[in-house]
Structure 1
Amino acid sequence: MRAAGNLFATPFRSSRARALAAPIGNARTGSITVKGQEIATYVWGDPARQPYVLFAHGWSSHGTRFLPWVAKLRDAGYAVVAFDQPAHGRSSGEQATLPCFANTLLEVGRRFGPAALLVGHSLGGAAASVALANGLQAERVMLIAPAADPEAATERFAHMVALPQRLFRALIRSFERHVGVAFDDLQAHHNAPLIARPALIVHDLEDREVPWSEGERYARYWADSRLVTTRGLGHNRIAGDAGTIAAALRFMRGETVGERVVSSPNLPYGIA
């Protein structure tokens, strides 16, 4: 069980090498300390003087994966801030969890101030939801292929490592004891209703890592949100896709993007 727990909290070994080899463009690099970990930051423009966009990457990824966004955002007058989560990229540490992701995002946001737009991809989307529900400030929010259900994610992990079903619940209980947070407190249905900011959720129907239904779930529970559904971009390409970036720029201009997801006792979900 301990071995499974350690594996669950450890990013893929190859991810740090990929991050170190990835281009950073003309970013100004720096670091901040969060709970004893050195967190690598990447800044384009001047977030102290310009409205800025804050990016939160997903599991086994890195902050500079959002480099394709930078030129478009800078042309539109925005500064950009990205960072590497603990145990990822150029940041220190060997292990991380969703609560760790959320806390680090919260501290980065406090350091740079309220963002004009917060963008979270995959587990970064889940971290954004948790951080916003706990005080992170951002004018608008964009979640790309966001993970809504940590229990389902744990079950997918357990299946991947062939963990017997009888040990699945034990793994969850072990995680909750280790981080001091109940799984239910990390669920989309718990956090999304607490967030009073406009949100745009973008998710692909053919996502094989985080099902489209999890993005739909955010849109259902987040009162001021709309959903953009894509096809053929999968889980990773969607984060750097030109259409995704264009949707973000339209969203920041206040244009109507996507469809509203509605829910009622008689209609579990639907598009309005």
Structure 2
Amino acid sequence: MSKKSKSDNQSLQIPKPILITAKFLQAISPKLASRFAAKLFTTPIKYKIPKREFHMEKQSVQIDVLIPSINKTVKTYQYGNSKNKILLVHGWSGRGTQLVKIADKLIDLGYATVSFDAPAHGKSKGNSTIMTEFIASIHELDKQFGPFEYAIGHSLGGMSIINAIKQNLYVKKAVIIGSGDLIQDIIIDFIEKLQLKPEIGNRMREHFEQKFGESMNNYSTSVVAKNVETPVLIIHDEDDSDVNVKCAHSIHSHLKNSKLMITKKLGHRKILGNEKVIEEIITFIRS
């Protein structure tokens, strides 16, 4: 699924040749169909950097950092010169400059940001990745560039931050925007978009659980949230067509210390540049 979309504001659309291939494999072999789905599930789309992110890309100090635990290298972006650092984590098929509007405001307020292209994203090498590699990258960046005062994540980046905090990443506060929740729901949604039967999704989940030796549900945000005491601001749009707003309410109900902001008509990506959203983030981290 390396095909580039015309707009990163659109919801995921599966190309017809892939849908045809998936249905063909399902007809001849559910096992092959599940392996095909698993491959697609772990293959992000690499989008071109839009003009609005050019200045952050040019002004950042970029360094390739090896993540030893996964033996992969990620491109990192150090933006600003302050000792007060904030970690930014993009979502699936995103990039290290995607939270540019938030980063610019933080720079104006005297912070510096550190972000990265997750494995197989942006300028980082590779074709496939999974959330555990996002989490591993966060921990390694904390060792090399931290400690971070705060962490802000979008979509899968938000899920990864909550998981990293549960695994002893220390930040004063965290902000998650458009974050997913239950891994099983994410799989179901993905399989539905491929127009495949639920059985294929179950087979795909079992494939990953055998590969990694643990239940994928262990990484579901609301499950992990029960063990997180860090204050968290949850921001989600009620018209998000990529991640249902019910995820935000579920995560909020399971966190011990959280604040919920629900927006309207901003969708899954436009929300990252909204002034009111950015103001709420600033108010939260400075309060």
State the TM-score, normalizing by the size of structure 2. 0.83
Does the 8 Å contact 2:101/2:272 carry over to 1? no
Instruction: State the secondary structure of the residue aligned to 1:130.
Output: helix
Q: Percent sequence identity over matched residues?
A: 28
Distance apart, 1:19 and its partner CA: 7.3
- Residue 219 and residue 210 in structure 1: after superposition, are their counterparts in 2 closer, same or farther (change >3 A)? same
Match of 1:184 in 2: 217
* Cα root mean square deviation, aligned: 1.7
Match of 2:286 in 1: 253
Distance apart, 1:84 and its partner CA: 0.6
Match of 1:265 in 2: none
* Alignment-mate amino acid for residue 206 of structure 2: R
Instruction: State the secondary structure of the residue aligned to 1:138.
Output: coil
2 CA distance for matches of 1:21 and 1:250? 24
State the TM-score, normalizing by the size of structure 1. 0.87
Match of 1:269 in 2: none
2 CA distance for matches of 1:171 and 1:19? 34
Distance apart, 1:184 and its partner CA: 1.7
* Alignment-mate amino acid for residue 251 of structure 1: F
Does the 8 Å contact 2:237/2:245 carry over to 1? yes
Distance apart, 1:227 and its partner CA: 0.1
Match of 1:164 in 2: 197
> Number of residue pairs matched?
250
The yes-or-no answer on 1:225 pairing with 2:225 is no
Does the 8 Å contact 1:126/1:148 carry over to 2? yes
Q: 1:61 aligns with which of 80, 83, 94?
A: 94
Aligned residue runs from structure 1 range 134-149, under 5 A: 134-149=167-182
The yes-or-no answer on 1:45 pairing with 2:80 is yes
* Alignment-mate amino acid for residue 176 of structure 2: L
The yes-or-no answer on 1:125 pairing with 2:158 is yes
Match of 2:206 in 1: 173
Distance apart, 1:46 and its partner CA: 3.3
The yes-or-no answer on 1:27 pairing with 2:60 is yes
- Residue 89 and residue 156 in structure 1: after superposition, are their counterparts in 2 closer, same or farther (change >3 A)? same
Q: Which string of whole-angstrom CA distances, capped at 9 and with x for unpartnered residues, describes residues 141-169 of structure 1?
A: 00001111111111111011122222221
Structure 1: runs of 5 or more not aligned:
255-272
Distance apart, 1:33 and its partner CA: 0.3
Q: Which has the higher strand share?
A: 1
Distance apart, 1:110 and its partner CA: 2.1
* Alignment-mate amino acid for residue 62 of structure 1: R
Distance apart, 1:182 and its partner CA: 1.1
Instruction: State the secondary structure of the residue aligned to 2:172.
Output: strand
Q: Which string of whole-angstrom CA distances, capped at 9 and with x for unpartnered residues, describes residues 169-204 of structure 1?
A: 111100112233312211123211211211100001
Structure 2: runs of 5 or more not aligned:
1-33
The yes-or-no answer on 1:7 pairing with 2:40 is yes
Q: Which string of whole-angstrom CA distances, capped at 9 and with x for unpartnered residues, describes residues 77-125 of structure 1?
A: 1111110100000111111111121121222122212211100100111
* Alignment-mate amino acid for residue 121 of structure 2: H
2 CA distance for matches of 1:71 and 1:189? 30
